[in-house]
Amino acid sequence: MSNTRIYRYLDSNNQIGLDPEGYLVKQDQWSKPVAEMLADDEGLSLTEAHWEIIEVVRDFYLRYEMAPSMRPLVKAVKNALGEEKGKSIYLMALFPGSPAKRIARLAGLPKPTNCL
């Protein structure tokens, strides 16, 4: 779960707090515009392909009450969007670095438990 200590604010009105790892302090503040601000903060521009994955991860969270680490993420995407998109290479191309952590952050979810 996200650290509840505010490290910095995402917005100029100091309303949307982020923890030291860049996750939302208050998950209920997430919205598509907030996701866009988070992506912009990371130097990422969200396309329809990004939104598909974000929606899969948010659905996963609603079902299992946890953000998926990489292996469950790949499986969830494969089940929801098909074989071609359900590959780690595809996810790494869309979300460079650590896809599971980055997607969870953009989806307004806590850090996946098995991610360092």
From residue 58, alpha-carbon distances to 3, 8, 54, 112 in Å are 19, 24, 6, 12
Digit-coded pLDDT (tens) for 49-89: 999 999 999 999 999 999 999 999 999 999 999 999 999 99
Q: How many whole angstroms separate alpha carbon 45 and alpha carbon 24?
A: 19
Q: 7 pLDDT exceeds 90?
A: no
Instruction: Please say if the pLDDT value at position 3 is more than 60.
Output: no
Q: What is the pLDDT of residue 82?
A: 96
Identify the bridge partners of residue 24 per DSSP, sorted by sequence position.
Answer: 18
Residue holding tokens 């929606």? 55
Tally helices (H) and strands (E) across the chain: 5, 2
Which of 64, 70, 115, 116 is flagged as catalytic? Answer: 115
Q: Is 115 a catalytic residue?
A: yes
pTM of the predicted model as reported, rounded to 2 decimal places = 0.89
